[in-house]
């Protein structure tokens, strides 16, 4: 795989002097143009052999391009806070905003390759890591990111020559440590792992370029022209799409209205309309069970906190289903030092400039905490789908992205509980009318609630699909019958207790 | 101080039932009104004796108010990442945005009190901690935050009674640990430290309320009414100010124009016009010194990284002073894994909803990194002052706020280097003209640059004042004569080397 990068490619000093200023100017111009379009984050990944010029190339790009929209992202051994979250937390945190460029070193490819070289993981485990890499890069790419990956290569003998030369220079000898020679001795294993990495993760939307690293001029020009060409192509694509959209908008406007208002056909049987909403709980049973489960939850949470086990509770359901009331019964059993209610507020402009999952990654709490999401990332396949805020292609791929996200949470030992609190349309109407008359509940009822109600079928279908596609073995949806508030609240508390108990007893 | 909180105050169950729904509704309404005005972050701090109901009260507020604009902030022993930054980093990170409410437990008051109780610090050291608390709270308050602090109190005997009662209840006995009794035995020392804390930090803009904690109803009503009254008062104030501003705007509009365009009188001698800008460096001297200082900086940075010493470099100066060129000479000596160039971009909407220093706190890098600020927090007293983006009262108080911020950086062992790169107005004009003709430099010259140039005197006066008020012993400004680019670049490199050398040799 790397033979083509051991040809001794060079660019003469004289040629370089001519090429460099032109390249710099082109890169700068493209960077500014991409920034103005503000739809594309750029992720440029550097990996490869020691001494093949990764750092030097990153430095060069820092010098050549506008540093205001360029960030260096490099990773050491994970910190305590990073270890408390899934491995990819820190990569999600650092994602560049639309229009910005991130330069990555020692990033998500690094740990799997080194683990494989040091035989800490088997080949099948390595492959799983590579799958995660593909998922991560794909999620960013389909969301609009431009991803370029450079493998900087040096042959084994060239690497040896380089180390020897450094050692001989009294000013530079300090750069060579025992670790460098140790790495050199592992060269063959390293190349083997690298080949597998590149072979498997060399996708169309996140391609690798293998660059011969021995001549600084050559590698600089290779990397810079690859970046230049990719950026130019992307800008052309965006402009073509914009033109197409303009043209389409015109022709759609000419179509009769009926085409856009086709009614949604709800399957006669959905997971929701099969629920037995008649279940109730007497006031006295409620009182005794509330006390019992709150005490139990309190103890379980204390144990979970002590062993650093976090809990995420997702609460979804129709308006007025009683999510707030159920959440209040949960939190009054918890220590306020270690829980958070995370509401689903409108995204900030920073959040809008990233993948829609970014804001959920970014706010993952520290170990041992309970976070309750009053609406959640499922907004993508519920409200955003129904209201048309997300295009069909976007919400359809969200199912897989969400499953992947949740899998990473569970792998890190986080307890994930997903609750759909359901009520019948009639019950919702009764509660809306009640809210209209009770003073301290009026604020809870908005015009939007009435509008959402008109789309009951759309929402029910979206919820049905959501349960279908995201109720996995490890992260199942719990459907809670909510027409009777007492019954629902106890079932929610019990669900939390059961989930915590199951994990803590393992 | 606490005798008034040992009177056995109570509110009967019956009275509470009447008060509670009214209070809840009032709190909710005020919360929504404050959110709509979106000018005031609310910080509510809970401290006090164990078992006096801090957690229960926070839980209650979580239940009563709209959780979407309410956050619980509680602090454990600092994490690795937190220890790498100044102590207040985590408190700055968690500041509520305008319109939001933060509920604080075990926050910035906690560590100093416990350290004093355990005699880890002397009274003068404790007083220094209290000064920092006052500075922090004052900075938030003058920026518009509403700060309320509750000290929840229980007498020594009431605390003992509570622990005994818990121990007797088989369901609750687990709540009492050896640590609780240990705390109880330290009661007197704790109260002594608390008295000093409250006495010293009980400011008009961040007042303490001492609340008797034995009766849950009484303490809930006391806390909630205090919050309600403070919020209502703040809303009235904001509305009154708005009305006043409207009225003033009208009358100012009637005044003749000349009043608003009084010319700035520049003192005949400023720190800047006294610089000897004629200093130069020959091309050959430059080449050899560049190599020498870059090699030196490279080694020093490596040492600094190994011992976890961070470096912040602030670069300020007129447009076209050569900041970018100097930065490029610095970074090419550094390992791209461990430096960042932080440009002074427009704040995001999240950043605008916070104190202007928030975004600089938020992005403080991890230990060992070099961060170069291409323009910085000094924008507050430079461009924001000159362009009128900050009111005079705002930029005037920024000097002290910035000194306090920088003092905290230096205390944590961070190397802070502040460079003003200066050129003469004539040299600036020559460079602007050069930029107009050289293709790959054209993007650097904007209409704004020409506009700023017209305000040269205003900017020079602002810079003069800035140096005067913020050039402290520990964080002095280094003024670099920039008419000769070679001379300037070497002086910048040398400044960095000297500062690092000084710290590393200590």
* Residue A246: band (very low, low, confident or very high) from pLDDT cuts 50, 70, 90: confident
Residues 35-54 of A with CB under 8 A from B: none
Chain A interface, best mutation among B69, B373, B440, by max A CB count within 10 A? B440
DSSP 8-state class, residue B379: G
Average pLDDT value for residue range B46-63: 92
Chain A interface, best mutation among B81, B96, B336, B337, by max A CB count within 10 A? B336
* Residue B72: band (very low, low, confident or very high) from pLDDT cuts 50, 70, 90: very high
pLDDT the model gives residue B259:
42
Domain B283-504, CATH among 2.60.40.10, 3.40.50.2000, 2.102.10.10, 3.40.50.300: 3.40.50.300
pLDDT the model gives residue A264:
61
Asked if A340 has any chain B CB less than 8 Å from its own CB, the reply is: yes
How far apart (Å, rounded) are the C-alpha atoms in residues A374 and B372? 40
Instruction: Please report residues of B whose CB lies closer than 8 A to that of A25.
Output: 439-440
Residues 372-411 of A with CB under 8 A from B: 374
Asked if A179 has any chain B CB less than 8 Å from its own CB, the reply is: no
pLDDT the model gives residue B14:
95
Starting at the earlier edge strand, list the strands of the sheet with B70-74: B70-74, B101-105, B42-48, B146-153, B208-212
How far apart (Å, rounded) are the C-alpha atoms in residues B301 and B295? 10
pLDDT the model gives residue A492:
98
Instruction: Give A357-393 pLDDT, tens digit per residue.
Output: 999 998 898 899 999 999 999 999 999 999 999 988 8
Give the A:B interface size as CB pairs under 8 Å: 117
Fold of B3-241: Rossmann fold (3.40.50)
Asked if B28 has any chain A CB less than 8 Å from its own CB, the reply is: yes
Residue A56 contacts residue A215 (beta carbons within 8 Å): no
Residues 188-247 of B with CB under 8 A from A: none
Q: Which of B277, B241, B255, B361 is nearest to B312 (CA)?
A: B361
How far apart (Å, rounded) are the C-alpha atoms in residues A130 and A127? 5
Give the distance from residue A75's alpha carbon to the nearest chain B alpha carbon, in angstroms. 8
Chain B interface, best mutation among A72, A336, A435, A440, by max B CB count within 10 A? A336
Angle value at C-alpha A113, between A107 and A117, nearest 5 degrees: 145
Q: What totals of helices (H) and strands (E) does chain B contain, helices first?
A: 20, 10
Contact A55 B335 (CB under 8 A): yes
**Which residues lie across from B152 on neighbouring strands?**
B48, B211
Burial readout B391-427 (b: 16 or more C-beta within 10 A, e: otherwise)? eeebbebbbebbbbbbbbbbebebbbbbbbbbbbeeb
Asked if B30 has any chain A CB less than 8 Å from its own CB, the reply is: no
Instruction: Please report residues of B whose CB lies closer than 8 A to that of A328.
Output: 62-63
Contact A339 B439 (CB under 8 A): no
Which of B59, B302, B337 is the closest to A106 by Cβ?
Answer: B337
Contact B171 A62 (CB under 8 A): no
Give the distance from residue A207's alpha carbon to the nearest chain B alpha carbon, in angstroms. 23
Residue of chain B whose Cα is closest to the Cα of A173 = B299
Which of B55, B80, B348 is the closest to A81 by Cβ?
Answer: B80
Residues 352-371 of B with CB under 8 A from A: 366
Instruction: Give B295-345 pLDDT, tens digit per residue.
Output: 999 999 999 999 999 999 999 999 999 999 999 999 989 998 899 998 877
Instruction: Give chain A's mean pLDDT.
Output: 90
Give, rounded to a whole angstrom, the gap between the first and last alpha carbons of chain A.
Answer: 45
Contact B332 A63 (CB under 8 A): yes
Give the distance from residue B268's alpha carbon to the nearest chain A alpha carbon, in angstroms. 36
SS3 assignment, position B62: helix
How far apart (Å, rounded) are the C-alpha atoms in residues A499 and B10? 40
Q: B397: which residues sit within 8 A by CB, 6+ positions away?
A: B142
Residue B43 contacts residue B70 (beta carbons within 8 Å): no
* Residue A222: band (very low, low, confident or very high) from pLDDT cuts 50, 70, 90: very high
**Which is it for the CA torsion B92, B95, B97, B98, positive or negative?**
negative
Q: Is B48 left (phi over 0), alpha (psi -120 to 50) or beta?
A: left
Instruction: Please report residues of A whose CB lies closer than 8 A to that of B324.
Output: 67
Instruction: Please report residues of B whose CB lies closer than 8 A to that of A58.
Output: 336
How far apart (Å, rounded) are the C-alpha atoms in residues A305 and A311? 9
Contact B67 A295 (CB under 8 A): no
Residue A43 contacts residue A102 (beta carbons within 8 Å): yes
Task: Give yes or no for residue A121 having a pLDDT over 50.
Answer: yes
Asked if A294 has any chain B CB less than 8 Å from its own CB, the reply is: no
Give the per-residue SS3 of B179-244.
HHHHHHHCHHHHHHHHHHHHHHHCECCECEEEEECCCHHHHHHHHHHHHHHHHHHHHHHHHHHHHH
Report ipTM for this prediction.
0.74
How far apart (Å, rounded) are the C-alpha atoms in residues B76 and B459? 45
pLDDT the model gives residue A405:
95
DSSP 8-state class, residue A370: E
Residue of chain B whose Cα is closest to the Cα of A441 = B25
Q: How many CA within 13 A on the CB side of residue B405?
A: 24
Instruction: Give B420-470 pLDDT, tens digit per residue.
Output: 999 999 999 999 998 888 766 777 778 888 888 889 999 999 999 999 889
Residue B129 contacts residue B97 (beta carbons within 8 Å): no
The first and second tokens of residue A379, run together, are: 């907004």
Q: How many CA within 13 A on the CB side of residue A94?
A: 24
pTM (predicted TM-score): 0.82
Which of B25, B295, B335 is the closest to A171 by Cβ?
Answer: B295
Give the distance from residue A351's alpha carbon to the nearest chain B alpha carbon, in angstroms. 10
Task: Give yes or no for residue A104 having a pLDDT over 60.
Answer: yes
How many CB atoms neighbour CB B123 within 10 A?
10
Task: Give yes or no for residue B264 having a pLDDT over 80.
Answer: no
How far apart (Å, rounded) are the C-alpha atoms in residues A475 and A403? 9
Residue B117 contacts residue B186 (beta carbons within 8 Å): yes
Give the per-residue SS3 of B305-365.
HHCCCCEEEEEECCCCCCHHHHHHHHHCCCCHHHEEEEECCCCCHHHHCCCCCHHHHHCCC
SS3 assignment, position B256: coil
Residue A499 contacts residue A295 (beta carbons within 8 Å): no
Q: Beta strands A146-153 and B42-48: pairing type?
A: unpaired
Residue of chain B whose Cα is closest to the Cα of A349 = B349
Asked if B68 has any chain A CB less than 8 Å from its own CB, the reply is: yes
pLDDT the model gives residue B452:
87
| pLDDT top residue among A99 and A253 | A99
Asked if A79 has any chain B CB less than 8 Å from its own CB, the reply is: yes
Fold of A3-239: Rossmann fold (3.40.50)
Contact B336 A72 (CB under 8 A): yes
* Per-residue CA distances from B287 to A64, A88, B423, B493 (Å): 20, 44, 22, 13
Which of B21, B29, B332 is the closest to A59 by Cβ?
Answer: B332
Give the distance from residue B284's alpha carbon to the nearest chain A alpha carbon, in angstroms. 20
Asked if B341 has any chain A CB less than 8 Å from its own CB, the reply is: yes
Instruction: Give B176-198 pLDDT, tens digit per residue.
Output: 888 889 989 999 999 999 999 99
| pLDDT top residue among B505 and B322 | B322
SS3 assignment, position A305: helix
Residue of chain A whose Cα is closest to the Cα of B444 = A66
Q: Where are the domains of chain B?
A: 3-241, 283-504
* Residue B213: band (very low, low, confident or very high) from pLDDT cuts 50, 70, 90: very high
pLDDT the model gives residue A259:
42
Q: Which of B329, B328, B342 is nearest to B373 (CA)?
A: B342
Average pLDDT value for residue range A17-37: 93
Strands, E assignment, A21-111: 42-48, 70-74, 101-105
Average pLDDT value for residue range A320-339: 92
Asked if A425 has any chain B CB less than 8 Å from its own CB, the reply is: no
DSSP 8-state class, residue A203: B
Contact B67 A106 (CB under 8 A): no
Starting at the earlier edge strand, list the strands of the sheet with A70-74: A70-74, A101-105, A42-48, A146-153, A208-212
The first and second tokens of residue A366, run together, are: 């520290």
* Per-residue CA distances from B42 to A214, A268, B99, B141 (Å): 58, 50, 7, 10
Average pLDDT value for residue range A270-291: 93
pLDDT the model gives residue A230:
96
pLDDT the model gives residue A93:
92
Asked if A260 has any chain B CB less than 8 Å from its own CB, the reply is: no
Residue A401 contacts residue A371 (beta carbons within 8 Å): no
How far apart (Å, rounded) are the C-alpha atoms in residues A123 and A121? 7
User: Chain-centre distance of CA B259, in angstroms?
Assistant: 35
How far apart (Å, rounded) are the C-alpha atoms in residues B179 and B183? 6
Chain A interface, best mutation among B44, B77, B337, B342, by max A CB count within 10 A? B337
Same fold, A3-239 and A283-504: yes
Task: Give yes or no for residue B117 having a pLDDT over 90.
Answer: yes
Exposed, middle or buried by CB within 10 Å (0-12, 13-18, 19+), for A248?
exposed
How far apart (Å, rounded) are the C-alpha atoms in residues A156 and B425? 56
Residue A280 contacts residue A486 (beta carbons within 8 Å): yes
How many CB atoms neighbour CB A268 within 10 A?
6
Length of chain B: 506
Residue of chain A whose Cα is closest to the Cα of B344 = A68
How far apart (Å, rounded) are the C-alpha atoms in residues A299 and B372? 49
pLDDT the model gives residue B439:
66
Contact A71 B340 (CB under 8 A): yes
| pLDDT top residue among A290 and B444 | A290
pLDDT > 90: what percent of chain B?
71
């Amino acid at each position: 795989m790397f033979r083509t990068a051991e040809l001794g490619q060079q660019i003469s000093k004289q040629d370089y002097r001519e090429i460099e200023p032109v390249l710099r100017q082109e890169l700068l111009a493209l960077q500014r143009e991409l920034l103005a379009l503000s739809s594309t984050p750029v992720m440029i990944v550097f990996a490869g052999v020691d001494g093949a010029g990764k750092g030097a190339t990153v430095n060069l790009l820092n010098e050549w391009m506008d540093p205001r929209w360029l960030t260096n992202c490099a990773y050491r051994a994970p910190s305590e806070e990073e270890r408390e979250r899934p491995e990819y937390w820190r990569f999600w945190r650092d994602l560049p905003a639309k229009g910005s460029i991130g330069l990555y070193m020692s990033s998500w490819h690094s740990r799997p390759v080194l683990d494989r070289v040091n035989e800490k993981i088997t080949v099948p485990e390595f492959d799983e890591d590579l799958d995660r890499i593909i998922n991560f890069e794909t999620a960013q790419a389909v969301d609009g990111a431009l991803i370029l990956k450079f493998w900087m290569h040096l042959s084994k003998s060239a690497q040896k020559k380089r180390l020897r030369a450094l050692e001989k220079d009294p000013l530079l000898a300090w750069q060579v440590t025992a670790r460098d020679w140790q790495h050199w001795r592992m060269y063959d294993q390293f190349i083997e792992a690298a080949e597998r990495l590149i072979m498997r993760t060399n996708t169309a939307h996140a391609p690798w370029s293998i660059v011969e690293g021995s001549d600084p001029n050559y590698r600089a020009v290779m990397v810079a022209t690859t970046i230049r060409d990719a950026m130019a192509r992307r800008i052309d694509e965006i402009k073509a799409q914009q033109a197409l959209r303009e043209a389409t908008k015109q022709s759609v406007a000419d179509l009769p209205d009926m085409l856009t208002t086709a009614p949604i056909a709800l399957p006669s049987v959905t997971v929701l309309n099969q629920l037995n909403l008649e279940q109730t709980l007497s006031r006295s049973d409620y009182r005794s069970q509330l006390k019992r489960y709150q005490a139990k939850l309190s103890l379980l949470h204390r144990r979970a906190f002590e062993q650093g086990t976090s809990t995420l509770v997702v609460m979804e359901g129709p308006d007025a289903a009683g999510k707030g009331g159920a959440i209040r019964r949960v939190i009054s059993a918890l220590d306020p030092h270690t829980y958070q209610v995370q509401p689903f507020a409108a995204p900030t402009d920073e959040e809008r400039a990233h993948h829609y999952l970014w804001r959920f990654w970014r706010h993952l709490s520290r170990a041992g905490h309970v976070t309750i999401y009053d609406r959640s990332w499922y907004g993508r396949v519920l409200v955003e789908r129904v209201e048309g805020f997300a295009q069909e292609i976007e919400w359809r791929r969200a199912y897989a992205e969400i499953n992947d996200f949740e899998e990473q949470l569970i792998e890190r030992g986080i307890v994930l509980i997903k609750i759909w609190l359901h009520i019948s349309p009639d019950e919702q109407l009764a509660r809306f009318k009640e809210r209209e008359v009770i003073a301290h509940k009026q604020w809870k009822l908005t015009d939007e609630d009435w509008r959402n109600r008109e789309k009951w079928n759309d929402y029910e279908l979206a919820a049905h699909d959501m349960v279908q596609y995201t109720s996995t073995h490890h992260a199942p949806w719990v459907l809670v019958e909510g027409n009777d508030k007492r019954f629902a609240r106890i079932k929610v508390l019990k669900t939390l207790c059961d989930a915590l108990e199951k994990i803590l007893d393992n």
